[in-house]
Each structure stands twice: as structure tokens, then as C-alpha cells.
Structure 1
Amino acid sequence: MSTAFPEHLTADQAKQRLSKFGSNTLPEAKPPKLIGIFVRQFISPFIYVLFVAALVSFFLGQHINAFFIFAVLILNAVIGTIQEFSAEKAASALKEMVPSYAYVIRDNKVVKINSADLVVGDLVKLVSGDKIPADIRLCSHDDLQVDESMITGESMAVEKSLEPGCLVLEGDRQKAVNDTDDKGRDKPCFCYAGTVVMRGRGLGHVIATGENTEIGKIASDVGHEQTKPPLLLRIETFTLRITYGILLLIALIFIITLIRGDNLGSVFLLAVALAVSAIPEGLPAAITVALAIGMRRMARVKVIIRNLLAVEALGSCTYIASDKTGTLTVNEMTIKNICLTDNSRYQVSGQGLNPEGEISACEQGGKIARVELLVVAGLLANEAYLEQSPQGWSGQGDMVDVAFLLLAHKYGLDYQTTRKACPELGQIPYESENAYCASVNLYRGKNTVFVKGSVEKLLTMCAPEQAMAGVTAQANALAARGQRVLGLAYRQVDSIDGQLDQALHGLTFIGLVGMIDPLRPEVPDAIAECKQADINVAMITGDHPDTALALAREAGIADRKMLAVTGEQLAQAYRQGKSSFSLCIHGSNVFARVSPHQKKQIIDQLMHDGDFVAVTGDGVNDAPALTQAHVGIAMGLRGTDVARESADIILTDDNFASIVQGIRQGRVVYNNIRKVIFLLISTGAAEILLVLFSLLFSTPLPLFPLQLLWLNLVTNGIQDVALAFEPAEGNELRQQARPPDEAIFNPLMIERVLINALVMGTLAFSFFKWQLDAGVAEAQARNLTLLLMVLFENVHVLNSRSEHLSIFRQYFFGNKFLLFGMLAAQGIHIAAMYTPGLKDWLALSPVTLQQWTMLLLIASILIVVDEGHKLYHKRFLSASRENFL
């Protein structure tokens, strides 16, 4: 580009310095060593109880039991270490999917690069919403305010300025601030890596990168500890309660059996068996796997999870407050109509970033020359850049600004030549709360102020006679056709004394433009899926009400009867109190001319009214709403750094349909976690019943502690992890959203756990006692009972695949990991019957095909019972719903 910039680097110079100094990345905390991860696996109440059980077994002379429990503890630690290491790698991979970018000047052109490729000497552009990528010394700025709270602790944004005394760049050495000068870092001409631009614009040279930045020096001394997601913490709390409960039960049984005069060794053996049965040893690992799988599946549908809570929370959404531009639309602005104050109208051909097209008058005799002032105003009050490469045309900056550069090209003006011929003397950058931008340029020998923004805003700046009803009518007509409408105005001034905004009065209105940003083709179907999933979708935008309403109707967000609620109406309702404000919000799904502060008010009210809210945003002013919402969703392509930092989720394609896919996957993850918990808790409860029945009927233990551990960790431990890989059942978006405060153990799960545990425990004990009564040796009766429990697990894992769907309506091969897990569990157990040493430790012996078949038939009774319960529950719910209606 021919635009003149301050001294900066060439691409070759930058490449040399990157090779010499390395990438602009902060020092990362050293990952924990494998031995540290391994040791950490033993810090758990589950492990403590099992460890005590092993010690008790050892001192009672049950050396094989003690050895096997210790071996299982080691195996569990190895599995946990592998899982944690895999999770660390997955998290690192996800970070790389959302890189940070910076705009730099190289070879006299503005280019967008990965922030990691910044080098000392680079000239960087800063705009509101940017996270400053390195330590920078400003060479120019316009109303630049930076949030430096992460370094200074001060919450107020710092106003930047230029002053003598700021250190300068010395060659290609990294030198930010003299370490001996305590006041150096406080100089207002410096900006520091990691801080955020809250307002204004700036241009400055990089003086330190990576670990040499101020934040880099801090980061090198600070470790980062990953916190567990709330869901996992809740489950750990639940399992702790199970542990405490079983310890209490063991104590009671211990006292009862001692009073009854039982042998002390038998009492301890019973206590160990109960402890091993009750503790769901594999639960934390299986849930971690489910969350990790969910994150990867979401990444495949362009949804990057920054906060593990969002994996669970996204599936609970009842309300999505969506931005319009770029989320519901393709974010390719094209100016299609021009209306001037002399009532002349013009059409513009072409689409998107293709500069091919022309401007033609709608009326015969219309003169295209009349459009020139509007075209010039649009390209001068503008911060975008447009360039052609072998890959095609590309624009950098706000897409509205890019659309005006394309309009200039279609008119026949080269925007770079025009900018050079009309040097800029001052500017007011666009900020969403202002709804306009302005620039003062030397145009045809006179200082001319050009302003571009919302029609309503500009008319308040124009001379009274310019506030014409005709302009408003034209704007409304274009907006009703779904076009975004902007006005342009100008004023000639003798000089600019003081602030430019003081000159924004008595303007002459030039005309207005109508631009289209087409709806993404997949959005209507995504909106329909949301409605099916009992999720309300609203559009919150700063656009004209008619524009917003037309697009909302096309998308399916609004029907023909619904009207848009404006920011003015919201303000009036808010003044009247919460009840009026709530009625106003729930009366529409379209909110237009809404300020960022009002967006947060809407989110607050929805949450107060009981909705679980997801909100999308891309700008610095969206950060409060993103932080406030239950789930904040930032745009990965056009979103500002501060929006991405405030969000829980990042869309790498800025597409609303990706949110819907993320909700589907969120529900799948939560359902899979419930399936794992159901499998483990119900089988554990069945084992407890098996032990308690032996106490009640004064029989030998049906299964020894060693056999119970084998059952829980070796056979069942394969299948519970495989359940975490369950695919979507297909009806996730046809289900009602889960209440956010609903416990994992809701009435349905409790009911299913009790029924299935009772069936397994009763049948297994009845079989064991029947064998004993038939004269079968105690060891052989245990051998057959253990095989029956393994078969119960194989059958029960099929029941666990869905809470509502019959196993006969599910695709049997839908989860190959589960089929492998079932075959592996059965195969490992059968192999153990023939393995010397192992079969002796577990007291196993081979069985005949006839015995195996008989046990399989008994285990199949569990399918009949669970299928009957599903059918009853389905019919009961249907009947209840009909009676209610």
C-alpha cells in the first residue's frame, strides 16, 4: 500500500529477528513430572479406604487379598496418570485452535499475523478490544485507554499519552524499561503485554516480547494449577458421601456381628468386602474421559471449550441471546442502495468482497456524479484496508468499512490515492456506544469533517432543517427490506481547535446507504432445532428495528405478529421496575438499537426469571454480558481479544449453527456421565446387597473381596470407560432442557438404580444359595456366582446406553468401544479361569458351555426388567401429560 507509516520492519527483517530471538510466547509453567502425576493418584479417600482394607487383609493372613488390592491400586494409578497426561495434551491442542492475532505494518502494508510471530521493532496497530500482544512504546494514539489491572491491580483504565523521556528502541536489542528506573514502567507512552485496549486506537513499536515483557517476568515465577470442573467436584462430593456412608454401615455391622459372637476374622473379611463393593473406584477416571471426549467432539463442530464447566452448562441452556452480524449472518457487507437528500436513488451491483460491480441511477437522468461526496465520506471516515492477492480480494478491519472501500472501487476511486490526496488531520474511531465515527480531512483545499453512523444519531448532529421526515422514511423503507442502514454527513470547518467531537454539530446530511449481510443458510434449521429442544432464541443488536425484525422473521426467530423492542422502550420499562422490564423482555425475541449496558440488563433479568442463558458477543462492550451469562460464547474470527478472554466458549467459525451443535454435544456429554454413574452405582449396590444377604441368611460370603475387586476394576472397569464414548441417541434436541439445579441423581435414576440393583443382587444371591443347597462346593458356587455377576455387567451395560430408548431401538454397533469392552470383559474373565496363578488367586475354574448358557439366561432377566420399566415409565409419562392437558 502507498499509505505512509512510521518506521517499521520489512518481512525479511522480521523473519531474521524471529529466528534470532524466538517466538513471542510467555514462559509456560513446567508440566508436572510423570512421577508427580502418579503419586497424586493416591491422594483420594477411595484409595485410603482400599489401602486400609489391604492392611487388614494382610494382618489377617489374607496375603493374596492384600497383594491383589495393592496391585489394583497401582493399576488404577497408572490408568489415572495416563488419563491426566492425555487431558493435558488435549488442552494444549485446543489452545492452538484459537490463536491470538496482531495487526502489524510490514513493507508499508497492514498485515494480520499470529502474535507469536511478533518481533522487536514491529509497528503494531491497536484498537479497542485488543489484548496487547507485547510490550509497546507508542508513537501515536487517539484517545487510547488501556486496562492494566492484571499488572497494576488498578481497575480504572489508564489514559495513554506521548511524552519526552520514554525509552527508544536501540537497534534490535530487547529493551523495554530500564530496571533501575522504578518510574519507567509507569510512563504513559508504554503499553504492556496482556493488558487490554478498552477504548481508542494506537500505533507503537514492539520493545520486548515473550519472557522479556513485564508480564513475562511475572509469569516465569508463577505456576498454573488446573482446577477441576464443578461437575467433577460434585461427583467427588457424592462419592465421598458414599464412602462415609459405607464406613458407617461397616461399623454397625462390625458391632452387630461382634455382639452376635462371630469370628473376628470373618467380621473383618466382611467389612473389607463391603468397602470394596461400595466404592466406585473407576468413576473419576470414567467421568474425566467423558469430559475430554466431549471437548474433542465440540472442537470438531467448531466449538472450543475454555472452561470445562461449559461442557456441562451448554447442554442446560434454555435461552440463547444471539448477536446478529456474523453469527446469524455471513458478515459480508455489501452496499446495495444509495439515497441522497435530493431524493435521487441509486443501485449498486456486486456481492461480498468481489469488487466487480457498478453504481446506476434508479431514475432516468440521474447523475452518478452526485454520489461522489457520499463515496468520499465513506472511504475517509474509515479504518479498513482492502488489497488483492493471488488468492483474491481480502479486507482487514470492520466489514462495514470494507463495504465502503468496495463502493469506492465500484465508483472508480482508488481509496489509497484518495486518502493520500486528502490527508487525515484527526479522527474519532467507531465505538459501539457512540454509534458513529468521524474524520477530519483536507478535502479540496478545506478542512472537512466527515461522519458516518446510524441515521438517528447523525440527524441529531445535523442542522434542524436537515432532520427531515423524508430521510427517516427512506431509512425505514430500506430497513424493512432487511438492509442495514447508515447515514453520512459532513461539515467544513476553518480549523480544529481542541476536541474533534466539538465540531460535530450543524452538519449537512449527505445521504444514506442500505447494505445487506445475508442470513447464513443453515441458521433457519438451527433455530428450528432450538425450538424443538425447548430453547428460546433472541436477537440482540444495535441495528435498526426494521432491519433486525426482517432478518429475525427470515431466520424463524420472530413470527409475523412479533414486534421489535427498541433500546428506548427497554429504558422506559427499566425505569418502571423489574416486573415491567421482565414483561417487556418476554414479550419479544428481537431487541434493536440496544446498548451494551442494556444487553447486560436483559441477561440479568432473564437469569433472575429462571432461564439458563447463553449469550454471544464479539466486542469489548460485550465482555460484561459474556461474563454475566451462564455461558459466554465469543466469536473466534471477528471477536475481540477481550471478548474471547471473557467467554467460556469460542466459535471458530462465528456460526450460530455451531452453537446448536455444541448444545447437542453438551447434552450428549451429560447423558453419558449419567450412564457411567448409573452403571457403576447400580452394580456396586447389587454387590452390597449380595454381601448383606449373606449376613442376613448366615451364609458364607458369595464373593471374596479379591473377587469383588476383580469384578469392579477389571471387568466392569473396561465397560464404564467405554460408555463415555456413546454417540448421540438422536433425540437430544427433542428433549426439554435440564433444570440447571437438577441433581445428577434425579428420581428416575434413583428408581432405576434401586430396581436393577435389587434384581441383580437378589438373583445372584438366590443362585449362590441354590448352589449351596444343591450340594455344590462353596468354591465352585462362588466361581459360578462371579461369572454370573460378570454376565450381569455385560447385560447391564446395554441397559445403561439409554434411560428412555429400548435397547432394541438402538444401533447395536453404534459404540464399537462398548462392544469391544463387553467382549474384553468376558474374554479376560474366561482367560483368567485357565491362567495358572491367577485362577488360584481368584478361586476360579473353567465352566461348561451349558453352565455359561444357563447363567447368561439368568442375566438376561435384567434386560426384561429394565425394558419393562422403560415401557412403564414412557406410558406413565404419556398418560400423565394427557391428563394434565
Structure 2
Amino acid sequence: MSREPVRWGAAALREDGPPSNGAVPSNEPLRDRPGAPARSVPSLPVREVYAALNSSPRGLTPPEATARQARYGLNELPRVSRGHVWRRLVAQFTDLFAVVLIVSSAITFLAYALEQPRDPATLQLALAILGVVLLNAGIGFAQEYSAERTAESLQAMVPHTCRVLRSGDARDLPARELVPGDVVLLEAGDAVSADCRLVEAHEVAVNNAALTGESDAVARVPGPVPTGPPLEARNLVFMGTDVIAGTGKAVVCSTGTATEFGRIFRLTAAAPRQKTPLQRQVAAMARRVAGVALATGAVLFAVRAPGGQPFVDTFVFSLGVMVALVPEGLPATLSVSLAIGVRRMARRHALVKQLLAVEALGSTSVVCTDKTGTLTQAEMTVVQLWVNGVPHSVAGVGYAPVGEVSDAGPVRELLRTAALCSNARLVPPTGRDGWRVLGDTTEGALLVAAMKADLDPAAEESRTPRVAEHPFDSVRKLMSTVHRDLDGSCLAYVKGAPLELLARCDAVDREGAREPLTDVCRAEITAAADGMAGQGLRVLAVARRRVDSPHPTLGDTESGLTFLGLAGMYDPPRPEVRDAVDACRRAGIRIVMVTGDHPLTAEAVARRVGIVRGRAPSVVTGTQLDALDEGGLDALLASSTELLLCRVSPEHKMRVVTALQRLGEVVAVTGDGANDAPALKHADIGVAMGASGTDVAREAAVMVLLDDSFASITTAVGLGRSVYRNIRKFLIYLFSHNIAELVPILAATFAGFPLVPITAVQILAIDLGSDVLPALALGAEPMERDVMDSPPRPRRERLFSTAVMGRILFLGGIQALGVCAVFFWHIHASGLPYADFTKSDPVYREAITMVQAGIVVSQFFNSLAVRTDRQSVFRAGLLTNPWLLAAGCFGIGLMAAISYAPPLQTIFNTAPLAAADWAVLAAFGALLLAAEEARKWLLRRRGTPLEGETR
């Protein structure tokens, strides 16, 4: 994204007149500029910063702050508009099935108005169709609204308060009230509320992970720096980042959407939301089914119209055929089944904001995962110490000082020195929060290690108070502090990068005695540091020396040092992640690490969790990605099985996601920072962190991990696959009985029978009264054990595949033959000619009752048959889904009420059935189950794999 220069300073801004504090206001609303501070501000000396930003060392006056707030707006990111509730409710009626049914209902109302005399059955049909539409819309809206409200309950990341100078007085103000020119006070533990230029800094270090993805602490300085990209300016701090060490004073440069945080917010808002595979497939299915229904109804109208039947009756008959073909209960069943998946995922710490995203997880073929906090615990831990050629292991993980140091005696002075040369603080557990570190996480790890060696850092600091400090600098890569000992002498303690510190040492500590540092000893220390680094550890060296004064120069402090030892630490992987990665491998899901961290750090973590197992993975930096054209990037992504992308920007992440989608992959992207948000939104499935993630990331994602663990993603993928399998099960169940509803109507038409074997109202009663609950029970089938043992289905695989259509035709054909047989058997048994039958004829009423009951009973057996694809349902257990049995019994009970209850007989034009009739229908149902069991037996015997499986 381009960053246009912005005119700041008095020369460009004088026409409004000076404010009351002597500063010059701006003509140009800062919130409208491209997002980065003006390139000139980082390069200005401190004394010129106030004038350039129209402020003063005492801050703004309250009236001036109020005026600027009116001009520039509140310091907040706009919430994404979700539209009015009524608009989202209306959107439920735009589904193609809903449109077809609404049009059908409207035409039926019109037919009722034109009839002479008017038939109450036509009005009942119109009302029934409209009721179906309202029911589907209500269920869909309720499920989506519930999921949305749950997602919005997550807390936002942007801090709520900050400390500001107004007319020289420090006061705590809501962060949303900050304006350009405000002077803010910063200290360790604060979250930065706006983009600011530092004017005072005492050992300030910040964590820019939310913007850059890099978890290392970054030192900040108040002085001028050369002009360059804002994120590289070492005197700027940014909204959404954290101060982890030191104190400082800064002047606000940008607020709200004009910040770097806001720049990524705008980039995210511009990224289109991708449709899930199920959305695309359901839309295609709806178009095909609606087209077939309309075409079939039109053909039958054309066939029956010349036969002398009244026009309205013929039209209503054709409309009934259309209704028979439209799966009225499918939208409601789909919504509730997906909602069941949402609730199951929520119990596994994965909150899904969009119902259709549940299924999309099941088709995921590539996961682009962040590192810190997702694969790791985001808690640096010292695991190894090295003193005088001897390694000492450190037990325990995280910031809880639980564990011990092996043979702690020789390393106590090393840990004491490291703890004193630190600015971090260890905070005990409070409420639901465990042990945590205020300040640099590396220093926090050293404090924990010292406590594991039975040292008390606070007591040591009291016994040896600090009198001076030289903060860490990324150039010399060292930090040093000066302390006054009990005898009044002064000691300098230094820690930092091993090579830089070793170059400043001329002696080594040998059990308390100072000995010369020989070349052999230097080589031994260097080899030890390299060995620890080769294990993926971050290595620090520690040294000390006596100094002559309490305020020595930097050169005196960091020269002539006595080497004490090495400390190796790392951010430990989450214990459950390795099993989750193994599960992804078995499931054929490729994992690509995409991080802002250093390549060596990324590779070490990837090896620990099992993402990398080969000797030479492809490790590519953001700079290398910039050098690749579209074809080169596609080739890299297609050829590299183990790929680590390091030092990447938000634009890099979006480009990688787009390229993977171009290659036909279904991509899930994880992330927690604002820098991840564009890729989260552009991915097929965006997965944000709930505990540590930013509000921008959570807003962009469709799934939020409440525990931030990669293992929850794997579980969610398994649940998503299970949801897809269950959707196929109830689709086979629902569409197979549509055949049983349509074939008798077609058979009666071409046989010359003047009436329909089943009316539209009866069809609606089957679709909603007898089929919805069993379909829901099928949608709630538990996850099968082998769900993660097959590769992801192809992105282009159709919901109605050849295998699915084959089962629909097989099961639907058996049902259709059964109901046609009972209908025509009943009609012929009466001995009446076709022309003598009327709607009120008892035989006709019994026959259509037999058809309706036959579909309901056969669907009960059908629901048992479709529970498994190849395994025998008797092996799976008839009682393992009690809800399905209960739903089937309810449907048969409802059918019995329609047959025997006089009020329902009047509505549905039915008649009571004899016990022998029920026995015949049960026999047909059992025949269907036996035929399906035989088909599965043949599949097992031949060893035929299912779609998506490999042998």
C-alpha cells in the first residue's frame, strides 16, 4: 500500500490560527492520511518534534484536545457494520429454495382467488408452503444470530485507558479520547494506544508482534533516525503493541484508522470474504433442483391440460409436483445440523461465527499457521545452562517457578548476575491469570530460572542495589547494569549475544577464581554456544567485572569482563501440538508455517512439533518472496512439501493464500495479530486467537480458538469432516423420498388416472412433519473414528457426486416401487374404473393414505440404512443413535394421527388404515433395508474405496 507524504508543520498549517497552547493546528485531518506518520517526523531532533506535531512538552490544553477530537474524530477503529437485524432476517428469504416456495405460495393464493367454487385445499396448500418458508427463515436466522452474538462477546484488544499530559498534569483518560499532539506517558506493561514519536525513553523496549508477527523485544530510542519505512523507525511506537520494558514519553502522531494498525484494518476491509465450498455447492444444488422442479411441473401441465381437466386443478396439480421436488426441510435441516457442529466445536474451544464455515473446515487441505502462541506457549523458558564446560539442565516449563536446576551450585552466580541485569518483573497468579512476566520475556525466563535455583531476585536486588545502567542496544547486542556491593565497591553485570560478549572478556570464572581466558577456552565456549543454538535455543552469555566508580563509561563497563557462562532458552511448544500435527499428516493436510520470526527460530519450532522432519526444508523469507513472480511462487508452493515462510508482511501472507487457492487448495490461515487480519479474511477459513488475538484479527476470522491451540484446529477439521459426511447422509435421506413422492404422480399421469396419488399438503406433511427430525438426528451422528484417516476431498468435488446420486436413485427407486405398488393395488382391488374416482371416494382416500404412510415407514428404515456408507448398520449398532429411533417413531406416530384423527383426516383427505396395511408397508421398508445391506456387503467384498479414500 502506498504511503503518501503528509504536510506537517507550521508553514502548511497557519491559516487556522495558533491554538491556546501556542502550537499550530493542522488544516489536514490526520485520520484521512495514508496511515503512516509523516516521513519527516522520525528524522527530527527531539526539540523540533513538538512543533512539528503542534504540541508542547506540557501536552495539549483540554479545550484544544476537545477541538482536535471534533476535527479528527475518536481514536478507535470503526466496527464492521453487520446491518440491521431486520435486513439479516430478510436475507433469509433470498435463498433460492425460499424464492421458489414464495413464488409457489403466491401463485397458489392467486389460484385460490380465481377458483369457482373455491377449494379450501388450495388455500391450505398456499398457507402450508408459506409456513415452510417462515419456519426455514426463522431457524436459519436464530442459529446465525446466536453464533454472531457469542462471537461479539469476546473482548477487544485495543487498550481502554492511557496516561496523558494535559496542561502539564498527568491523568488517566479513555484511549478513544487521544488526539494527535497529545503527550502520553509509557511504562512497562502498558499497551500503546496510538502511533507516537518518542521524545524521552529510558530503556524502552516494545513487542511489535501484533503488527510484524515478530515476537522478539525491540529497543526504542528517542533520538532522530534516518527516513525510511515507519515500522523500521526505532523512535516510533504503534497502536496495538506493548511496552515490555522501560519508561518513556511520546507525542501522538496518528490516531484511529490513520495508524499503522488502522492501515491493516483498511487492508482487511478491502479483502473480499470468500464463499465456502458448501456455500457454492448448495447454491449450485438449489439451482439444479429448482430448474428440474420447474421443468417437470411445466411438462406435466402441458401433458394434462389438453385432457379436459379444469385449468386451475391442472395448475395446482403441476404445482404439487414442483413442491414434491423441492426439499422444503433442507434449509432448516442444514442450518440446525451446522449449528450442532458449531456447538460441538465450541465445546472443543473453537468458536465458529458463520455456520457454513463448519463444513468448510472439513475440506481444508492446507493450514498456514502462525508460530508464537499457536504452536508454542508464548512463554520463554530456560532449559539449559553451561558453566566451565558442564551443561546443567533446567526442569519446568513456562513462567511458573516450578522445577529445579541440576547441580545448581556452580550456576548460582551465573543466574544471580543474569537476574540482576534484568528489568523484567515476575507477577504471581491473580484470579484466572497464571504466572506472567512484565517486561522482556527473555529476562523473565532468566528470573524464573534463578528462582528454580533457590535465588530470590528481589532480595538480591535489595542487597546489591542498581546504581547505573546501559540499556540493550541492537548494534552492540549487550545490556549492562552497575550495582553497589555490601562492601561499597561497584560491580558491572553484563549479558547479551555470546560472540559480542566473549569478545569483551579477558578472563573466565573457575569456581570463584578469575583465570585468563585462553584461545582454547574461547573455542570451547563458542562451540558450546553453537551447539545450543543448533538445538533451536536462544543463547545468552553472562559476564561481570569490578568497576572503579558507580557511573562508569560504556567502554569501561563492557570491557575486561570475566565470563560466567551461557543460558539457553526457547518458547516451548504446546504439548498437544505434536499429536495434532501428526493427525494432520494422516489426514493429508499440509502445514505451512508463516511467521514474522527469524528463519532459525521458525525451523527449530517446526522440527519440535513435527512440521519439519526432513533434512532440508524450504525456508523462504519475505525478501525472497518479493523476488518471485506469480509463476515462481506457484512453483514454490506446489513443489515444497515442507515450507517455512519467515519475516513476512501482511501483503506476503495474502499473496501466499491467493496463490494456494489458485492451485486448487482449500486454505485455513491462523493468526493473532492485526498483521494477520488481511490473510485471515481472504482465506477460505480464517482462524484467529481468542485469548491473545487482536480485535482486528477476530473480526476478520470466521473461527476463533478460545484456547489459542493448534490442536483445536485439528479437532475442528475432524468435526468439519464429520459434518460434511452427515450432510451427505441426510441429503441421501431427504432426496430419496422425493423420488418416492414424484414417481407415483408421474405413473398416475401416464396411466391416465385423473387424481394424484399424493397431494401437495401430504408432501409438506412428510417433508416437515416426518422427515426433519430424522434428518436432524442424522446430522447429529457422532464423529467417526476414521474421519482423519483419509485425504481432504478435492475442492471441486460436488456435493451430489456420482456415488451420492447412485444411492439416492437406488434407495428412492425401491421406495417408489413400493408406494406405487400399494397405491395401484388398492385402486385395482376396488374394481372401479379410473374415471369413477373422486377426491371424496373412500378407496381413493385409503390409497393416498397408503402412499403417504408407505413413504413415512420406508423412510424410517432408510434412516437406518444411510447411517453408514459401507459398514453394516447392525455392526455400527442400531441403538447408538437413540435420537434417530425416537425421531422415526415420532414420524410414524404423526402419520398414524393423520390416518385416524378426524380433524387431520379432513385437512389431509386421509382414511384409517387396517393393521394388515401397516404390515405390508413395514415389509416394504424392511426390504429396502435388506437391499441396502446387500449393496454394502458387495462393496466390502470387492474392497471398493469410498470417494476421497485411498487404498
**5 Å matches for 1:53-68?**
53-57=108-112, 59-60=114-115, 61-68=118-125
Equivalence for 1:93:
150
Q: Is the 8 A contact 1:135 1:190 kept in 2?
A: yes
The amino acid that maps onto 2:800 is F
Deviation digits for residues 572-604 of structure 1, max 9, x if unmatched? 997699569846985553748665587777656
Structure 2 residue identity aligned to 1:64: A
Distance in 2, Cα, partners of 1:35 & 1:607:
31
2:125 aligned with 1:74:
no
| Per-residue deviation, 1:70 | 0.7
Q: Identify which of 779, 782, 786 aligns with 1:731.
A: 786
Partner of 1:394: 436
Partners of 1:50 and 1:69 within 8 A in 2: yes
Kept after mapping to 1: 8 A contact 2:157/2:693: no
2:585 matched to 1:528?
Answer: no
Give the superposition deviation at 1:787: 1.0
1:661 aligned to 2:715? yes
The AA in structure 2 aligned to 1:740 is R
**1:856, distance to aligned residue in structure 2 (A):** 1.1
Please, which of 767, 776, 791 is the counterpart of residue 721 of structure 1?
776
Q: Which runs of 5+ in 2 are unaligned?
A: 1-57, 60-75, 164-171, 212-228, 238-250, 267-272, 507-518, 547-553, 832-842
Q: 8 Å contact 2:105–2:126 — kept in the other structure?
A: yes
Residue type at the aligned position of 1:733: M
Which residue, 399, 405, 425 being the options, matches 2:447?
A: 405
Q: Secondary structure of the equivalent of 1:650?
A: strand
2:642 aligns with 589
- Of 831-840 and 476-485, more deviation after overlay is shown by 476-485
- Per the TM alignment, residue 747 of structure 1 is displaced from its structure 2 partner at its CA by 1.4
The alpha-carbon distance between structure 1 residues 823 and 472, as it changes in their structure 2 partners (threshold 3 A), is: farther
1:810 aligns with 2:900: no
TM-fit CA distance, 1:294: 1.6
Report 1:465-544 matches (<5 A).
Answer: 473-481=527-535, 483-486=537-540, 512-537=566-591
Matches within 5 A, 1:122-521: 188-189=252-253, 191-192=255-256, 197=261, 231-232=278-279, 234-259=281-306, 261-339=308-386, 348=394, 351-355=397-401, 368-369=412-413, 374-377=418-421, 379-380=422-423, 386-387=427-428, 393-396=435-438, 399-407=441-449, 409=451, 411-414=455-458, 421=466, 473-481=527-535, 483-486=537-540, 512-521=566-575
Residue 243 of structure 1: SS of its match in structure 2?
A: helix
Asked if structure 2 preserves the Cα contact closer than 8 Å seen for 1:159 and 1:188, the reply is: no
Contact 1:543/1:592 (8 A) holds in 2 = no
- CA gap of 1:470–1:579, structure 2 versus 1, over 3 A, is farther
Aligned mates of 2:545, 2:806 — CA distance in 1: 75
Shift of 1:661: 0.7
3-state DSSP of counterpart to 1:732: coil
Displacement, 1:282?
1.6
Q: 1:788 aligns with which of 848, 854, 871?
A: 854
Change (3 A) 1:548 1:32: closer
Are the counterparts in 1 of residues 197 and 235 from structure 2 also a CA contact under 8 Å?
no
What code does the residue aligned with 1:353 have? Y
> Unaligned regions of 5+ residues in structure 1, if any?
1-5, 8-23, 107-114, 149-154, 164-186, 200-214, 216-225, 429-433, 493-499
Q: Take 1:436 and 1:674, find their aligned partners in 2: how far apart are those partners? A: 63
**Cα separation, 1, equivalents of 2:574 and 2:236:** 45
Is residue 339–residue 355 contact of structure 2 (8 Å, CA) maintained in 1? no
AA in 1 matched with 2:303:
I
How far apart are residue 300 of structure 1 and its match?
0.8
Aligned to 2:615: 562
1:876 CA drift (Å): 5.0
Deviation at 1:358, TM superposition (A): 7.1
Q: Is 1:102–1:124's contact at 8 Å kept on the other side of the alignment?
A: no
- Which one-letter code corresponds to 2:436 in the other structure? S
- Contact 2:366/2:590 (CA < 8 Å) preserved in 1? yes
**Partners of 1:799 and 1:807 within 8 A in 2:** yes
Which of 686, 690, 701 lines up with 2:756 in the alignment? 701
Larger Rg: 2
8 A contact 1:127–1:197 mirrored in 2: no
Q: Secondary structure at the match of 1:784?
A: helix
For 1:834, give the aligned amino acid: Y
**Is residue 743 from structure 1 mapped to residue 798 from structure 2 by the alignment?**
yes
SS where residue 853 of structure 1 aligns?
Answer: helix
Matches of 1:46 and 1:400, distance apart in 2: 64
For residues 458 and 299 of structure 2, the distance between their equivalents in structure 1, rounded to whole angstroms, comes to 89
Residue-by-residue CA offset, 1:248-281 (whole Å, 9 max, x unaligned): 3322332333345555355224212212211222
Question: Who is 2:810 aligned against?
Answer: 755
Who is 2:730 aligned against? 676
Quote the offset at 1:857 in angstroms.
0.8
SS at structure 2 position matched to 1:395? strand
Q: Which amino acid aligns with 2:720?
A: G
Instruction: Tell me, in whole angstroms, the C-alpha distance in 2 between the residues paired with 1:117 and 1:819.
Output: 58
Over 3 Å counting, the alpha-carbon distance change for 1:849 and 1:635 in structure 2 is: same
Distance in 1 between residues matched to 2:660 and 2:398, nearest whole Å: 36
Q: 1:86 to 1:510 in 2, by over 3 A?
A: same
Alpha-carbon distance in 2 for matches of 1:119, 1:198: 14
Structure 1 residue 692 corresponds to structure 2 residue 739: no
The answer to whether the Cα contact below 8 Å between 1:286 and 1:720 also exists between their aligned partners in 2 is: yes
CA distance in 1, matches of 2:533, 2:310: 88
Letter in 1 for 2:427: L
What's the CA shift for 1:848? 1.9
Shift of 1:515: 1.8
- The residue that corresponds to 1:221 in the other structure is none
CA contact (8 A) 1:616 1:633 kept: yes
Equivalent-residue separation in structure 1 for 2:503 and 2:658 (angstroms) = 31
Aligned partner of 1:638 in structure 2 is: 692
**1:790-819 CA distances to partner (integer Å, 9 max, x unpaired)?**
112222222333434432233434444333
Amino acid at match of 1:787: A
Instruction: Using the TM superposition, give the Cα deviation of residue 842 of structure 1 relative to its aligned residue in structure 2, in angstroms.
Output: 1.0
Residue matched to 1:173: none
Of 583-592 and 303-312, the range deviating more from structure 2: 583-592
Return the alpha-carbon distance in structure 2 between the equivalents of residues 629 and 461 of structure 1. Answer: 50
How far apart, in 1, do the equivalents of 2:638 and 2:88 lie?
52
1:202 is matched with none
Q: How many residues align?
A: 781
Q: Deviations over 1:680-715 (max 9, x none)?
A: 222223322221111122123211222222222222
Q: Is the 8 A contact 2:230 2:236 kept in 1?
A: no
Tell whether the 8 Å contact from 1:318 to 1:611 is kept in structure 2 after alignment: yes
Structure 2 partner of 1:167: none
Aligned residue identity for 1:722: A
Alpha-carbon spacing, 1:249–1:590, altered in 2? closer, same or farther (3 Å): closer
Shift of 1:86: 4.4
User: Quick one: distance in 1 between partners of 2:730 and 2:470?
Assistant: 66
Measured in 1, the distance between the counterparts of 2:274 and 2:593 equals: 34
- 1:229, 1:308 within 8 Å by CA — same for their partners in 2? no
Instruction: Provide Cα deviations, 1:609-659, integer angstroms capped at 9, x if missing partner.
Output: 444333433345545554554433333333444544443322221222211
Distance in 2 (CA, whole Å) between partners of 1:841 and 1:748 is 39
Aligned to 2:931: 865
Superposition deviation, residue 862 in structure 1: 2.0
**Percent identity of the aligned residues?**
27
What is the aligned partner in structure 2 of residue 820 from structure 1?
886
